[in-house]
Amino acid sequence: MELTRYGFVIDQRKCIGCHACTVACKSENDVPLGVFRTWVKYVEKGTFPNTRRYFTIERCQHCEDAPCVEICPTVALHKRPDGIVDFDSDRCIGCKACMQACPYDALYIDPRSHTAAKCHYCAHRTDRGLLPACVIVCPTEAIIAGDLEDPTSEIAQTLARQQVQVRRPDQGTRPQVYYVGADETAITPGLAIQPPQYLWAQRGPAGVDLEPKGSLLELAQRTGGTPETPPARWPEMDLAPPAATTTHAVTVYDVAHPKPWGKKVSSYLWTKSIAGGALAVAGPLLAAGLASTLLTLGAAVLAVLFTALTAALLVWDLKRPERFWRVVLTPNRRSWLVWGAYILMLYGLASAAWFIAGLAGGSSVPAPLLWLGVVLGVAAAGYSAFLFGQAEGRDFWQSSLLLWQLLGAAALAGAGALAVLGAIFEVSNVAVLAALGGILLGSILVTLGIVVAELYLPHANKDVATAAAIIKHGPLAREFWLGYVLLGAVVPTVLLAAALGAGWPLWWVAIAGLAALAGLWFYEDTWIRAGQSVAMS
């Protein structure tokens, strides 16, 4: 049986930026206004009057190793034997994880079906022996489609005789879309300045967060330059395109790429830290002999309540929440979204059993159930590190420290929430308060150390450095320094240090717990937003 592997070659030397491919794609596939499967980006390079405009046709790259297929929890995205990465909108739950996994901004949420969609190589035409619509309409024959494995095909012969490039080869996805004569500033995200609006169009609908574009514009203005003519030297180079001082390249037309995940996902990380941390903190204290209904009934109530809130946030964030059952019944077991759902369900059951045991036993829990709750609590807190690791389009989220940061956050959140609950019910057990205060203080310092290391140690690449700079001294700096560092770390540390010498007063520990919990939410929010603030196309 002969192998077939479809792909594209796009000759950027022939492209005239007419958008015929975009219009043909919309017409053939009934793509709604405002979203795109194929689009053309304009980059202007040089200094007036010696300038030139470059066009780049962008679309799904039909990767050999497609990260969107791996992360999709319901097998809505799948790779066909002929190499086409196709999708089934009837299976899609609208989780938007594929949009985070794709390093090319190729996926979007269809405003009518509320499911993900993208270029599928006009599979309905290809299966009938026809070329994709964008190919037949291109007036300059800049787009070549065909079987890469057929040596007699035009696409295979073009690859054999022309020097080609691929977009973002560092991502290791092995894209099957090849570019001839593409300018580096047009094909590589971040090399061209991206102003917040264009000559003929605004960047996107109201409410789209354009942090990195705005920050670059403001930085240029502060240093005496403009987006078209950058200053001689950018004082904060990790916020600037590395080639800005020599190329003077500016993106003058592009389509909007809204951030898929917002405050619901930030809140999900926060509620999950409290849920997982409740039993993970209470279990070892109970095993150490600190008997208290706060550590049995109180911890179980926190675990059940915040696990339910976590699940509710996850379902609420879906564009098709009524299809959530597909994650369980028709799962893609390579996706950590699926494993996360399984872990949360098991943890919810263990938390409910812990609560029943607490009702029956007062201040004790059977040892097997106790350690099961601890293990599942740690798993619930930490699985997101592997989920975000599958979001390969966001380099900032690929940190090897993320698992430890999540576990530290769970210890912080669990101890802080238990301290607040203890204050509400006026728990007077000084030993329990001292233990919670000690865990809270230690986890605050450990988590802060991990966050500082993530932001200030040498970064893997320019995208990670840019995201870190956006947090340290960019648009998210106020939320980070005031919300997380001051409120979430400095204030509770001072309170707990004072409480240590004052016999652990109940309300001091509780106020420190509240401040630490508030600061943790600010950090989760800045981390989610910063990771999505670096251009991928």
Per residue in 137-168, pLDDT (tens digit) is 999 999 999 999 999 999 999 999 999 999 99
**Cα 414 to chain center, whole Å?**
24
Instruction: Reply yes or no on whether the pLDDT at 239 is more than 70.
Output: no
Single-letter amino acid code for the residue at 345:
M
* DSSP letter, residue 202: B
Beta-strand (E) ranges in 203-320? 249-253
Can you name the residues that pair with 55 across neighbouring β-strands?
A: 42
Cα–Cα nearest to 488, from 512, 465, 466, 519: 519
Residues 6+ apart with CB under 8 A from 114: 94, 319, 320
Instruction: Reply yes or no on whether the pLDDT at 249 is more than 50.
Output: yes
Q: Using 50, 70 and 90 to split pLDDT, how confident is the model at 361?
A: confident
Domain with CATH 1.20.1630.10 in the chain: 263-531
Rounded to two decimals, the pTM is 0.91
pLDDT, tens digit, 9 for 90 and up, residues 85-107? 999 999 999 999 999 999 999 99
pLDDT at res. 210:
37
Pairing of strands 77-79, 50-59: unpaired
Q: Kindly report whether the peptide bond that precedes residue 67 is cis, defined as omega within 30 degrees of 0.
A: no
Question: What whole-number percentage of the chain has pLDDT above 70?
Answer: 90
Take residue 77 and report the two structure tokens written for it.
């995205």
pLDDT at res. 2:
65
Residues 248 and 230 sit within 8 Å (Cβ to Cβ): yes
Take residue 183 and report the two structure tokens written for it.
């300018």
Catalogue the long-range contacts made by 139-143 (C-beta closer than 8 Å, 24 or more residues apart). 139/16, 139/18, 139/20, 140/14, 140/15, 140/16, 141/11, 141/14, 142/10, 142/11, 142/12, 142/13, 142/14, 142/15, 142/16, 142/57, 143/8, 143/9, 143/10, 143/11, 143/21, 143/57
| Mean pLDDT value of segment 467-488 | 96
Residues 397 and 265 sit within 8 Å (Cβ to Cβ): no
What CATH number labels 6-187?
Answer: 3.30.70.20
Domain with CATH 3.30.70.20 in the chain: 6-187
Q: Using 50, 70 and 90 to split pLDDT, how confident is the model at 190?
A: confident
pLDDT at res. 246:
47
| Mean pLDDT value of segment 277-301 | 94
Instruction: Reply yes or no on whether the pLDDT at 217 is more than 80.
Output: no
Is 389 buried (19+), middle (13-18) or exposed (0-12) by CB count in 10 A? Answer: middle
Cα–Cα nearest to 471, from 527, 404, 517: 527
| Mean pLDDT value of segment 415-428 | 92
pLDDT at res. 500:
86
Single-letter amino acid code for the residue at 219:
L
Single-letter amino acid code for the residue at 221:
Q
Residue found by looking up tokens 């609006």 in the block: 197
pLDDT at res. 240:
39
Instruction: Reply yes or no on whether the pLDDT at 518 is more than 80.
Output: yes
Residues 6+ apart with CB under 8 A from 507: 423
Neighbours of 328 (CB within 10 A): 13
Instruction: Reply yes or no on whether the pLDDT at 213 is more than 50.
Output: no
pLDDT at res. 192:
87
| Mean pLDDT value of segment 293-321 | 96
- 3-state class percentages of the chain: helix first, strand second, coil last, to nearest 5: 55, 10, 35
Take residue 148 and report the two structure tokens written for it.
């890469």
CA distance 100 to 246: 31
Mean predicted lDDT score pLDDT of the chain? 89
Instruction: Reply yes or no on whether the pLDDT at 309 is more than 90.
Output: yes
Can you name the residues that pair with 42 across neighbouring β-strands?
A: 55, 253
Instruction: Reply yes or no on whether the pLDDT at 51 is more than 60.
Output: yes
Instruction: Reply yes or no on whether the pLDDT at 202 is more than 80.
Output: no
* DSSP letter, residue 296: I
Residues 436 and 450 sit within 8 Å (Cβ to Cβ): no
pLDDT at res. 201:
67
Residues 302 and 418 sit within 8 Å (Cβ to Cβ): yes
* DSSP letter, residue 54: E
Take residue 382 and report the two structure tokens written for it.
């930490």
Question: What whole-number percentage of the chain has pLDDT above 90?
Answer: 78
pLDDT at res. 363:
74
Can you name the residues that pair with 40 across neighbouring β-strands?
A: 57
- Domain 263-531 belongs in CATH node 3.20.10.10: no
Q: Report the interhelical angle of 506-531 vs 263-287 (nearest 10°).
A: 140
Residues 309 and 360 sit within 8 Å (Cβ to Cβ): no
Residues 73 and 93 sit within 8 Å (Cβ to Cβ): yes
pLDDT at res. 435:
95
